[in-house]
Every structure is written in structure tokens, then in C-alpha cells.
Chain A
Amino acid sequence: MSHGNHDPFRMGFLTAVEDAERGFVGGLLITNRFGRPLEFQCTAPVKPNRAQQILYGPTLRPFVLGELLGRTLIDKIGVKPHLVLIETDEILDLRQHVSIPVAYFVNKVTDESTQLSLGKLGIAFHPDYLADREEMVRHAKAIPGDADMREPFERIREALAETIRLGTARTA
């Protein structure tokens, strides 16, 4: 079956888990519009050192999760998504470091200028990149209205827990 020049819509789901001993582990899952996986990338655990903790203070988490893990994962992923979805706006500034639209979930669309319906939920874009929203309007129609867009994050968390478990088992 030939797809011609058609580039089917792909979504990236980016999240991370924190292991008390080993630090943060980030994961990025690329799926087709129905949630079927195409590629998955995860990072090795990253634990900020004392100097970083002092220097970054409250901005440490956004820095590690967004700029360090998120940006690395997006750079490394082979199947590039059209949209990267994150769970909260904590690492929305990641958008400043990547060329792919980044959006976070809101329960209800309250501002049509910066937000968009996607599946059962709404997504909000970075206020400095409102063109992202216009770009995604077309793709959003390809997502089933009853799709649970938060579900893939559960899969990533389980996969990351598994990698930590196996990593710990191997180093033990």
C-alpha cells in the first residue's frame, strides 16, 4: 500500500518518573493517531548533583525534565512526531528548545485562542508559539473523539518502571 507523500499524524507522549535513589528517567512514546506505538525512547536515570540543586533551586525540575531529558529524547527519536504532549505545563518551556509543537493537557477548553480539543480532553499551547495551535487544528480532527489521551502516559510509566527494575536487577 502506497502512502505517497502523505505523512500520517503522529503524536509524542513525554513524561518522566522519579526514582528516589537513581534520579529522573524520561520516556517519549511516539504513536499513530489511534495510540498504536511506533517508537519509544527512554533515558538512563539522571540525578542532579548538589551544585545543580543549589544553582537551579525551584527551576531544577523544569530544567531536568524539559531541557535535559525532554530535549534529548526529542533529538534522539527517529520517528519525529507532529506534536509532543506533556501532562502539565511544568515543562512547557521545552518548546523554546525544540522545533516541534508542545502542548499540555487541560480538562476543558476555556480559551479557544490558545487551546484545542483533542480526544476527550483539551490541550493548551505555549503562549509564545500560538501558530502551533493553528497547525494542529487540522490534525486534531483525525483523533477519535472518545480517545483517552492520558492513557499512553500510563504505558510509559509502566515501561519506565520496568527499565528501572531491570536496570537495578542487572547492577545488583
Chain B
Amino acid sequence: MKDGSLRMLDDMIARRTSDRPSDGAIPAPHLKLEPSSGSLDELLSEVPCEQVSLGVSAGIYSSGMNVALQRWPQIDTESIVAPKSPALMPPWKPHRQKVTTFGITFPEGVALLAPPAAPEKGKGPATDETEEELTSIEPPRPASLMDEATLAEAKKKLTRLKPPDDALSIEDRLFYLLQPPLQSWLGGQEMIMPFEPFPYQYEGIGWLFSKSAALLADEMGLGKTMQTITAIRLLIRSGQVRRVLLVCPKPLLPNWQREFRTWAEELPFVVVEGDSERRRLTWTMPGVPVLIVNYESLVRDFAAFGEGEFPKFDLVVLDEAQRIKNRTSRTAETARALPRRRSWALTGTPIENRPEELGALYEFLEIVPPNATPDLRQLQFLAKQFILRRTKNLVMKDMPPRLDRDEYLELLPAQKYAYEKAEKEGIIHLNDLGDSITVQHVFELVLRLKQITNFDPLTGESAKLDRLEADMEEIAASGGKAILFSQWTKVLDWLAKPMEKYGALLYHGGIPTKHREPILTKFKEDPNSHIILMSYGTGAVGLNLQFAGYVFLFDRWWNPAIEDQAINRAHRIGCKSQVIVTRFISKDTIEERIDKVLTEKRELFARILGDGDDCNQSLSMNASEIFGLFDLKARHGKGTKNIGRNKSA
């Protein structure tokens, strides 16, 4: 073995030596080979050597994997969808970026179907998703007084809902921003609108929709009722409210029912009426979206329920909300105690006498703390946020004009005699009263004199009646209709006879409530009925008599706001032509003096309030002004007084 190894080593050395170039440029580093040096054995004897055995065995060790190594690998196939066409974007991405999202779901609204009898030409049931085919419904008719240009402009400008100022969460704000414009929402597909609202009415509807506390104080006749009903309808449709309570004065119950049928025929409503048992059932009846009740029943029924038992409402609407201006009255206390989420108040006269009256309304709206007395600056600040008031002056372009004419009439001889006598005796009587004189005494004299200016009680002579007959002849001949207002039912009854030939109808507090609605229907539909005789108290509020083109104020009310309310029965949205308002004022009488006082006050407040609000600041005459009619001074304890009229007055 040793010999063999050495031989191999010799061979290797020999090969390397022979491969080296002859010039011997790279000598071997370790071995210095010289021919004269001794044998190989000698060389190796100097290198330490160790014998290594090359007999390696080739056996296989068991590792446990041997069998697995012998198996064929399993291969699965999978088909890949190749792109149909070459695209710029690579269809496969190594990493898809994650995007964070945020979303809101809109509440499911209440879908109500119109009464089945509704379909007729241009009208169909309120469509719902149950019908995929589009029902043929005409869009709402524009009011006939809208000219083409106004109509085109109105169509162009869409009314979008705005989030209320107090909506802070993004969900709340997006809810309003993502609602469709009112014009398309009320476009006649989802909801039937009998008439196209005016632009300012769209604005009012949108404003109400987004408010949880709102005072809609539009001047009478601008359509507060319609705006309120439509806003309620939209709130119910969008699932924002489910139960609404509407409170109104008793005489207006039929009016609200009629308006609900007109503007929201698919919306069921129930009037709370009948005996106490029935009313209690009505209050607790489930599934009624709208309850209508008068103030008196509300106060009574609320007291009948135990504490915390009164049903809750999503929305409470007070019509003619000036009814709660006295915040300590039971009506006001009840209204404030109603469990509710939203509060709306409607009134054409938010301030009847004093700005503080607004405080009571703000308290109902829960925008001021209980018993708060906000000052004028605070009232104005809150008004900007919570009150929407438009006057006819501001929206006059949407309305036909109202022509006011004051007819100054000379008393007839018998009237004049009776008047002068009564005034003379009356003043003497007042003078005799001395310090015991009160405003009531003066008031009585004023009333007596006013009655004589209407007609002489002895002879029945009346300058006003003569003038009225002359006007009515013309009105009846042209097929027109007139409303006459007086503060006395006695005067109305007296007028009924001479007006009989014009188909006169009587409508005052002496007429039972259930008979009143047919009277209005007859006045509207009977072509021979040309005049309706109304008292201010019963006929001034809430009625829609826009088909009447003439209004007569036979005598004057103390408060111009009430007179305006009366006039606005005829001069309101929907009237097709101008309304002529005639005020009868007897010359050189107490009427003329009252008119002067009221006119001056109206002008004064118009200057203060501005904004075209010159005709509805309701400013009753106060005690000193009533005394002043006879140049008397209001007494405060012991005071001197000038009795008797100043001749120069």
C-alpha cells in the first residue's frame, strides 16, 4: 500500500515538473527539486505522514423518509381565465390597496297609498315600489297666476334641503344633503301635489323639514297650512316622524281636515272628538300618523291622563300659536308639557302686542329655558334661527294685487242726529263720572257710537248700507262674490234682509259648528250666492275663501291684525284675480278717529321693523288711546282730566 501511494506521488511530482516552462519562471513554492538532490524516500522522510484507511462501507441508514422519497409527487391542475382583450392596466396586482369607507343607511319611510277612488285623468294612486311600471301621473299644476316667465324661473331654481345649524354629526348632515330637491321629490311621482307650490313655499317646506324647533310666521294667506302639511308628509315619507299631533282652534278643525284631504290625500288623520271615552281611545289608537285636536280638548284630555301616561309624539304643531302667548295659562302649560321630539308653531302674528310674547313661543319650542325673559337683542338673535316670516310685500310677485280703498261716508241725517245726541250725552255722562271713570265707560260709549255709524237704530237709515247695495248690484251682475265683516252679529242679522236678493249667507258665532261647513260650500258653489256675512271672531281666521274677489269691512275692528286676517280669507294663495277691499269709515265720527290712531301706530311700527312688514303688526289700542278718542286722559289714581273733545280735533 505504501509503495502504491508513493508511486502516485512520484508521478504527480514528475508531471508537475515536466509541465513547468523551461525557463523555470515559477518555481514550486515548497519543493525545491534539484536533480542532484537525493531519492524521493529521502524527501518524504522529512514530511510527517499518517496512514489513512480508504476502506469506506456503502450501507443505507434507516431515516424514516426513505419510502416517501420513493413516491411520485402529486400535481394538481387549475384553469386560469385569460383576459379577453389586452388592457393597459395589468389585471393582476401584487397588492390591492385598502380603502376605508364610511356609510349611512336611510330609514325606511312610511309608504302610504292614496285612496283607491283617486285615479282619474291625470291622477293616480301614490305610486310605490310595488309597481315597477311607471304610473302616469301629471306633475302638479302650476297655480294659474304664475306667468310663463315666473314658471320657467321657478323650474330652473331647485330647492335643496340644508342641514340645520344644530346638526353636528356627519350622519345628520349627510341625511339632509343627500335628499332630492323638493321640486323632484314633490314632482308628482312619489307624492301627488294638486298644485305646484310657489318658490317661497318650497323654501318654507324645506325649512320646516329640517327644523326640530320652528316658528313659521308667514303673513296670513301665504300658505302656512299647505307648507306644514307638505313638510309633515315628507317627514313621514322619509321615516323621520311617525306620529304627529296638530293642535288648532276649534273653528279651524274642518279647515285642517279639508286641507289634509287636498294636500295629502294618502295621509290618514283622525280628529280627537266625541265623549271622553272615545277621545281617550283616539289618543291611544296605534298606527294613526296624524291626530288633530282643538286647544280646549287637548287641555282637558291631557289633564285626564295620569302623569307620564300621555302618548308621545314625534312632532307637535300648534296652529294659531298666539294662543299660548300667556305663558302661565293652562293652554300654554299643557302645550309645553306635551311629550314630543319636534315642536313647530304657526302664527301670522307672532307678536300681537308686546315683543315679550315671543318668549312664550320660544319656551314652547324649547329654545329658551323655562321662564326665561330674553331681551330684544336675544329675541332678534333667536328669530334669525327659528322664525321664518315672509310677508306679501316680499312675495308679492307671486300674488295678485290687493286693492284697498277707504270709503269715507257722510252719515245720513237721522244717523247724524242720533250720533251727535249720543256723543253729547255720553261725554256729559263721562264728565259726571269724575275720578270713577274707567276705560270700560269710554269703551261703552265708543261701541254705542260705532253702532250708530252702522245704522240708526230708530229709522234703520244707513249710509254704509246704501253704499253696500250699490256695490253689490255691480258685483252680483258680474257674478262676483263678496265677504262682509262686522264685529256685531246683530248688525249681520240686520244686513241679512236687505242682502237677501244677493243670496246672502250668515256665518257667525251664533251658527252651530256643524252647520258652518255647508254654508261655506254653498257660498262657494251656489252661483246665486254673492255675499257672505261674517263676524270677525268666527270668520277671520283659517278659512279659505280665495274665490271671493271683494271684501267689505262694514265696521272697524280694534286691531289691524284681525282686520288683515279677515281680508286674507279672500286675498290668499290660490286667488286668481285681484281682491278689492273696501273699508267703510263714517266721516267726522269716532270711526275716523280710531282709523287715524291705528294708521299712525301701523306706520310707526313699520318704520321700526322694516322688511316690508308694514301691515300686520297687530297693535290693539291701549287704554290711554281709547281715552284719547274723546280727549280724555287715562287716570292713575287722583288725576285731573280734560273732559270733552277739543274743538280743533
Decide whether A and B are members of one complex: yes
For the complex, give the distance between the alpha carbons of A137 and B564 in Å.
57
Q: Does A98 contact B (CB under 8 A)?
A: no
Residues from chain A with a CB closer than 8 A to the CB of B181 are 151
Residues from chain A with a CB closer than 8 A to the CB of B128 are 1
Residues from chain B with a CB closer than 8 A to the CB of A144 are 134, 187, 189
For the complex, give the distance between the alpha carbons of A51 and B128 in Å.
50
Q: How far is the CB of A103 from chain B (nearest CB, A)?
A: 19
A73-B132 in contact (CB<8A): no
B99-A155 in contact (CB<8A): no
B104-A39 in contact (CB<8A): yes
Q: Does B180 contact A (CB under 8 A)?
A: yes
Residues from chain B with a CB closer than 8 A to the CB of A130 are none
B111-A67 in contact (CB<8A): no
Q: Does B44 contact A (CB under 8 A)?
A: no
Q: Does B521 contact A (CB under 8 A)?
A: no
Q: Does A100 contact B (CB under 8 A)?
A: no
A93-B103 in contact (CB<8A): no
Q: Does B304 contact A (CB under 8 A)?
A: no
Please tell me which one of the listed residues B87, B111, B113 contacts residue A93 in the complex, with CB atoms under 8 A apart: B87
Q: How far is the CB of B290 from chain A (nearest CB, A)?
A: 19
Residues from chain A with a CB closer than 8 A to the CB of B174 are 40, 159, 162-163
Chain A: CB-nearest residue to B96: A68
For the complex, give the distance between the alpha carbons of A127 and B493 in Å.
82
Once A42-B103, A67-B89, A151-B181 are accepted as A-B contacts, the answer to whether A34 and B189 lie under 8 Å apart by CB is yes
For the complex, give the distance between the alpha carbons of A77 and B84 in Å.
28
Q: How far is the CB of B580 from chain A (nearest CB, A)?
A: 39
Residues from chain B with a CB closer than 8 A to the CB of A166 are 170, 173
For the complex, give the distance between the alpha carbons of A139 and B132 in Å.
8
Once A128-B84, A162-B170 are accepted as A-B contacts, the answer to whether A39 and B105 lie under 8 Å apart by CB is yes
For the complex, give the distance between the alpha carbons of A36 and B437 in Å.
68
Residues from chain B with a CB closer than 8 A to the CB of A63 are 89
For the complex, give the distance between the alpha carbons of A130 and B113 in Å.
37
Q: How far is the CB of B2 from chain A (nearest CB, A)?
A: 71
CB interface residues, B 286-306, toward A, < 8 Å: none
Please tell me which one of the listed residues B111, B178, B238 contacts residue A155 in the complex, with CB atoms under 8 A apart: B178
Residues of B within 8 A of A (CB): 84-85, 87-89, 96-97, 99-106, 109, 111, 113, 128-130, 132-134, 139, 158, 160, 170, 173-174, 177-181, 184-185, 187, 189-190, 238
For the complex, give the distance between the alpha carbons of A152 and B184 in Å.
11
For the complex, give the distance between the alpha carbons of A36 and B109 in Å.
10
Q: How far is the CB of B230 from chain A (nearest CB, A)?
A: 15
| Between-chain CB contacts (< 8 Å), 8 pairs | A6-B132, A8-B129, A9-B129, A35-B184, A36-B106, A40-B178, A46-B97, A166-B173
Residues from chain B with a CB closer than 8 A to the CB of A44 are 99-102
Size of interface on A: residues with Cβ below 8 Å to B = 56
A162-B89 in contact (CB<8A): no
Please tell me which one of the listed residues B88, B97, B184, B185 contacts residue A68 in the complex, with CB atoms under 8 A apart: B97
Please tell me which one of the listed residues A1, A31, A59, A152 contacts residue B111 in the complex, with CB atoms under 8 A apart: A1
19 more A-B residue pairs beyond the given contacts A37-B180, A68-B97, with a C-beta to C-beta distance below 8 A: A1-B113, A9-B129, A29-B178, A35-B185, A36-B109, A36-B190, A37-B178, A39-B103, A40-B103, A40-B178, A44-B100, A141-B133, A142-B132, A142-B134, A144-B187, A147-B184, A151-B180, A155-B177, A155-B178
Please tell me which one of the listed residues B87, B99, B106, B139 contacts residue A43 in the complex, with CB atoms under 8 A apart: B99
Q: How far is the CB of A77 from chain B (nearest CB, A)?
A: 7
B180-A36 in contact (CB<8A): yes
Once A142-B132, A148-B184, A151-B181 are accepted as A-B contacts, the answer to whether A162 and B99 lie under 8 Å apart by CB is no
Chain B: CB-nearest residue to A8: B129
Residues from chain B with a CB closer than 8 A to the CB of A162 are 170, 173-174, 177
A151-B184 in contact (CB<8A): yes
Q: How far is the CB of A42 from chain B (nearest CB, A)?
A: 6
Q: How far is the CB of B59 from chain A (nearest CB, A)?
A: 58
